[in-house]
Structure 1
Amino acid sequence: MKKVLKIAGIFLGILVLLLLCLVAWVNFTPLPKYESKSIPVNLATDSAALALGQKVVQTECVICHMGADGKLSGREFTKADNPFGEIWSANITNHPEKGIGRYSNGELAYLFRTGVKKDGGFAPFMMVPNMSDEHLGALIAYLRSDAPLVQASEAAPPAPKYGFLAKALMKFGVFAPKFQEIKPIEAPAPDDQVAYGKYLATAVFSCFECHSQSFETNDDYVPENSPGYFGGGNPIEDESFNIVHSANITMSKDLGIGKWQAADFVRAVQTGQRPGQRALNTVMPRYATLSEAEISAIWAYLQTVPVLENDVQKIAQAK
């Protein structure tokens, strides 16, 4: 019996040692680096293209990158006690050294397609692999424009201090670029309401990212493979770094938005007012620049998404 216990103790000791080595490897070795490339991108600079780019920037980039100086100069995104660590969003103004002025247009397009930065690091939240070439070109054109939001800022946000979870996800390849062949992408026609709504909700705007189960398990390349797709429950920090769980926006009549009308959804997205004149939490942006046609297309697509009976309130209370 003593011999068995001794052998078990040795195996347990080896297991603990291996575990400590794994933890040390995750915590103290450098993060993976990838080759930054330049890809072709067409930048239309007419007023229509700039207006399209402005809409994307104001609905997506502003949320994470709006700095104290009123420009897209970066801000504290998560505190040190967040599982991802202390992360500041980047300065994406046109500063030639501290912003995206150091990127060529092709390098910037590659960053948005793959998440690979000029220094070889990986920025998963910058990645829009399914955005159309037209939207991508308009986005970059606006970031290169003379709009006040993107004028050069001297702000230099601190480098991320990633937590163990973020390091592990990157080192084990969960958060890693998928170097699939970069092909031309065309958006569906707006008159194909369901297809266009899916495109807007998954490729242009961050609807599925916030309203699925978790940022860690989202599938940016095939969004509908994300666990809890549009069923909510994703823990998100608000502007005061309090945790708010995203809403279930499937058509569940009791736990989602299945009792809403299309007009209710349009009003909620544009103004933050849900049925009954109750205000949505401020962690949900007010998308005033989205047209009724665009929001109606997203609504049409949500009608086709499998219903999830996910009780977000119970999730929030449990945590």
Structure 2
Amino acid sequence: MKKALKIAGIGFGILVLLLIATAAWIQFTPMPTYEVKPPTVQLPVDSASLAKGRKVVELACTHCHLGEDGKMSGRLFSQATDPFGEMWTANITQHPTKGIGRYTDGELAYLLRTGINRDGRVVGPMMCHPNMSDEDLASIIAYLRSDSGIMQPSEATHPAPAYLSSFMVKALIKFGVFKPLPYDGKPISAPPATDQIAYGRYLATEFYECYGCHSASFETNNPMEPEKSPGFFAGGNPVPDEEFNTCISRNITPSKEHGIGSWTEEQFLSAVKGGIRPDGSMLQHQMPRFAVLDDEEVRAIWAYLQTVPPSENNPLRVEAK
């Protein structure tokens, strides 16, 4: 009996030592870094490409990065009460040290593909576009380099994210739960606009990333395979505004009861471009007004959404709680 207790005690002691060693490794060793493999990027100079880049940046990026100075200097993104603590978005103006001015075009492309910054650290994947065409990604970078007022250098600096000192987040990063997205460097092309459903899918899942807000949660979205995101286009995601007021994203699957299955194409176009619901009421302000989208783009997104399996998820039930 004494021998058994002694063996058990030794085993328990070894286990405790292993746990202490693991905790020390998580807390005190440096964060992992990854090799940066910048692709060759040919930036477009034509006005149409710059307009395309501007469209994405102003519709998708300003919500998080537009600062109080009217430039893409970053802003408070989450409060101290958030599970990951206080976070500020990055200064992505052309400032040479405080913004992205020191990045090469290839380093920017690699960051936008993988979430790995020029120092080899993971900072994504919120802004990653792993499946965006090379041409469209280059258009975004061209706009970031342009003479647009919102991209001009800003001196703004922000505190390091609180999550960087979080034991839980350190553990998730070091055990590979939070990791960069894969990128093999192979060419990526967008489907032609003539293939309406494929083009609509590309716009809804990659170019404008509609699924990001309209699926169950930002935390569970799958940027590599958007269709595998829980609650794909079925809504239920709490979407905050600049004052941290939230609304619950809507179900935009073809469900007739809880989605947009009873809408017409023209009603969808009015909602997307003007923020007007079929009953004449206005969408909440967290939903951007995509007035700059071409009708062709909106109709392609509509055609694609008709192919998404209908979901009977009712986000309004969540909002009413």
Q: TM-score, normalised by structure 2?
A: 0.89
| Counterpart Cα distance in 2 of 1:228 and 1:15 | 40
Which amino acid counterpart does residue 211 of structure 2 have in structure 1? F
Contact kept in structure 2, 1:80 and 1:86, CA below 8 Å: yes
Hey, what does 2:90 align to over in structure 1?
Answer: 90
Hey, what does 1:4 align to over in structure 2?
Answer: none
How far does residue 78 in structure 1 lie from its aligned partner after superposition?
A: 0.8
How far does residue 98 in structure 1 lie from its aligned partner after superposition?
A: 0.6
How far does residue 265 in structure 1 lie from its aligned partner after superposition?
A: 1.3
Return 80-89 or 131-140, whichever deviates more. 80-89
How far does residue 10 in structure 1 lie from its aligned partner after superposition?
A: 11
Return 282-291 or 182-191, whichever deviates more. 282-291
How far does residue 239 in structure 1 lie from its aligned partner after superposition?
A: 1.9
Hey, what does 1:302 align to over in structure 2?
Answer: 305
Return closer, same or farther for 1:167/1:252 CA change in 2, 3 Å cut-off.
farther
1:58-137 map, 5 Å: 58-122=58-122, 123-137=124-138
Choose from 223, 226, 229 the match for 2:229: 226
| Counterpart Cα distance in 2 of 1:293 and 1:19 | 58
| Counterpart Cα distance in 2 of 1:241 and 1:16 | 42
Which secondary structure does the structure 2 equivalent of 1:289 belong to?
coil
1:1-319 map, 5 Å: 30-122=30-122, 123-162=124-163, 166-318=169-321
Contact kept in structure 2, 1:239 and 1:283, CA below 8 Å: no
| Residues paired across the two proteins, number | 316
RMSD value, Cα: 2.7
Which secondary structure does the structure 2 equivalent of 1:249 belong to?
coil
Which amino acid counterpart does residue 68 of structure 1 have in structure 2? E
| Counterpart Cα distance in 1 of 2:263 and 2:31 | 45
Which secondary structure does the structure 2 equivalent of 1:179 belong to?
coil
| Counterpart Cα distance in 1 of 2:270 and 2:9 | 63
Return 296-305 or 25-34, whichever deviates more. 25-34
How far does residue 243 in structure 1 lie from its aligned partner after superposition?
A: 3.1
Which secondary structure does the structure 1 equivalent of 2:310 belong to?
coil
| Counterpart Cα distance in 2 of 1:255 and 1:25 | 48
Return closer, same or farther for 1:232/1:22 CA change in 2, 3 Å cut-off.
farther
Gaps of 5+ in 1: 1-6
Which secondary structure does the structure 1 equivalent of 2:56 belong to?
helix
Gaps of 5+ in 2: 1-6
Give the percent of matched residue pairs that are identical in Structure 1 and Structure 2.
Answer: 57
Which secondary structure does the structure 2 equivalent of 1:197 belong to?
helix
How far does residue 105 in structure 1 lie from its aligned partner after superposition?
A: 0.6
Return closer, same or farther for 1:17/1:99 CA change in 2, 3 Å cut-off.
same
Which secondary structure does the structure 2 equivalent of 1:244 belong to?
strand
Contact kept in structure 2, 1:39 and 1:109, CA below 8 Å: yes
- What CA deviation, in whole Å up to 9, does each residue of 1:20-69 have, x standing for no partner? 88777666654432222321111011111111111111111111110111
Contact kept in structure 1, 2:79 and 2:86, CA below 8 Å: yes
